[in-house]
């Protein structure tokens, strides 16, 4: 089987929301290659924590409670949720898991309550970091992968318009040139890979360092790189500065933004300058940068700002996992 689903950007491309059928309900979930739990708003939540989201009905005929199973998750941005566990049929654009662990929230943090476009998350990292106790559950991809035409999924994220995720096949109309594959280190449960040198702007190679280990994370809006690379980038942006009040680099919204070329698997991938204007700060006609420092996170994140510049293939067809990128 295969699946194809639209990936709809929220405001400022903050996250990408996809329709998922669970039993007879359709919920709109944030597909996140940086986590491994499929959790949903549910009828078990206090109404004070719900602001228009669709609630999974745990009383529906197809939902089977997994007695004694609970979950609790917290994310790098400080948000979190917790609840209990059901099994139900989950269909993502035609790819169907007949008995998928559906983690029904009994409580969510304010970030999720106020994210009115999202009814929950669909984790696409490795099942080793699933947060269900006493027994970790498999992700949707792990549940269905043996039934897919090919054991892979792809992400085509766009700005200001729908992109798509596919399960089981590569859509050759989504990219130009060839796909560059590189090995994945999933020892931390993420789609981890090694990035090489970088160049700011289209000029010659002005990079002196390399980026190193990184993760591909569709659930993170921005790109978080080592300080040296970030300072090198913003040194080329007139009027940019680090704002402690805003919590990152900002610049005049009228600034001209250079591209950033990153070497992965020996191929240079170009992130256009426009990708680095994330959003207005709301004060003084300054804008918040889509590239920020990874200090405090502990690792480098290639989030949506990068992923919008490429077609990404999350591939387990070779036994060992690998990740592929192609220009688009």
> 225 vs 326, which CB is nearer to ligand F41?
225
> 75 vs 169, which CB is nearer to ligand F41?
75
Q: What is the C-alpha separation between 245 and 234, in angstroms, rounded?
A: 18
Which of 6, 218, 18 has its CA nearest to residue 120? 18
Q: One symbol per residue from 79 to 118: x for binding ligand F41 (CB under 6 A), - otherwise; what is it?
A: x---------------------------------------
Q: Does 293 bind ligand F41 (CB under 6 A)?
A: no
> 30 vs 156, which CB is nearer to ligand F41?
30
- Within 10 angstroms of residue 142's Cβ, the number of other Cβ atoms is 20
Q: What is the C-alpha separation between 7 and 248, in angstroms, rounded?
A: 27
Which of 21, 14, 6, 59 has its CA nearest to residue 290? 14
Q: What is the C-alpha separation between 236 and 251, in angstroms, rounded?
A: 11
Which of 77, 231, 285, 317 touches ligand F41 (CB under 6 A)? 77
Q: Using CB under 6 A, which residues numbered 219 to 238 contact ligand F41?
A: 219-220
> 32 vs 316, which CB is nearer to ligand F41?
32
Q: How far is the CB of 216 from ligand F41 (least distance, A)?
A: 12
Q: How far is the CB of 46 from ligand F41 (least distance, A)?
A: 20
Which of 20, 31, 32, 260 touches ligand F41 (CB under 6 A)? 32
Q: Does 214 bind ligand F41 (CB under 6 A)?
A: no
User: Is residue 126 helix, strand or coil?
Assistant: coil
How does DSSP classify residue 182? Answer: E
> 81 vs 326, which CB is nearer to ligand F41?
81
Q: How far is the CB of 188 from ligand F41 (least distance, A)?
A: 13
Q: Does 297 bind ligand F41 (CB under 6 A)?
A: yes
User: Is residue 128 helix, strand or coil?
Assistant: helix
Phi/psi for 140 (5° steps) reads: -55, -45
* Contact status, residue 299 vs residue 215, Cβ threshold 8 Å: yes
Q: Does 76 bind ligand F41 (CB under 6 A)?
A: yes
Which of 121, 230, 271, 326 touches ligand F41 (CB under 6 A)? 121
Tokens matching residue 312: 């990404």
Active site residues: 32, 217
Q: Does 12 bind ligand F41 (CB under 6 A)?
A: no
Dihedral sign of CA atoms 245, 250, 251, 252 in order: negative
Residues across the chain: 328
Please report, as ranges, the residues that interact with ligand F41 according to CB under 6 A: 30, 32, 34-35, 75-77, 79, 121, 219-220, 297
């Amino acid at each position: 089987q295969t699946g194809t689903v639209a990936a709809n950007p929220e405001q400022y491309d903050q996250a990408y929301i996809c329709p998922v059928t669970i039993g007879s309900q359709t919920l709109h979930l944030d597909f996140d290659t940086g986590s491994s739990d499929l959790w949903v708003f549910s009828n078990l939540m206090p109404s004070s924590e719900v602001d228009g989201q669709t609630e999974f009905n745990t009383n529906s005929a197809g939902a089977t409670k997994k007695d004694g199973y609970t979950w609790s998750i917290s994310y790098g941005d400080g948000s979190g949720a917790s609840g209990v566990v059901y099994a139900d049929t989950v269909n993502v654009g035609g790819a169907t898991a007949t008995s998928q662990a559906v983690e029904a929230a009994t409580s969510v943090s304010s970030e999720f309550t106020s994210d009115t476009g999202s009814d929950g998350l669909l984790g696409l990292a490795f099942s080793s970091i699933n947060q269900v106790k006493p027994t970790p559950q498999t992700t949707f991809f792990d549940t269905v992968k043996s039934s897919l035409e090919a054991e892979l999924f792809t992400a085509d994220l766009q700005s200001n318009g729908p992109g798509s995720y596919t399960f089981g096949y590569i859509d050759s109309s989504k990219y130009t040139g060839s796909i560059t594959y590189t090995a994945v280190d999933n020892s931390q449960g993420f789609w981890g890979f090694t990035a090489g040198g970088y160049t700011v702007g289209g000029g010659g190679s002005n990079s002196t360092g390399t980026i190193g280990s990184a993760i591909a994370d569709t659930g993170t809006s921005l790109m978080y790189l080592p300080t040296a690379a970030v300072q090198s980038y913003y040194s080329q942006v007139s009027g940019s500065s680090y704002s402690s009040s805003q919590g990152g680099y900002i610049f005049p919204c009228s600034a001209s933004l250079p591209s950033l070329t990153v070497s992965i698997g020996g191929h240079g991938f170009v992130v256009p300058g426009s990708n680095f204007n994330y959003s207005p700060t709301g004060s003084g006609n300054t804008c918040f940068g889509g590239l920020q420092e990874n200090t405090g996170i502990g690792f480098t994140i290639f989030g949506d700002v990068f992923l919008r510049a490429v077609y990404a293939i999350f591939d387990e067809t070779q036994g060992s996992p690998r990740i592929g990128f192609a220009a688009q």
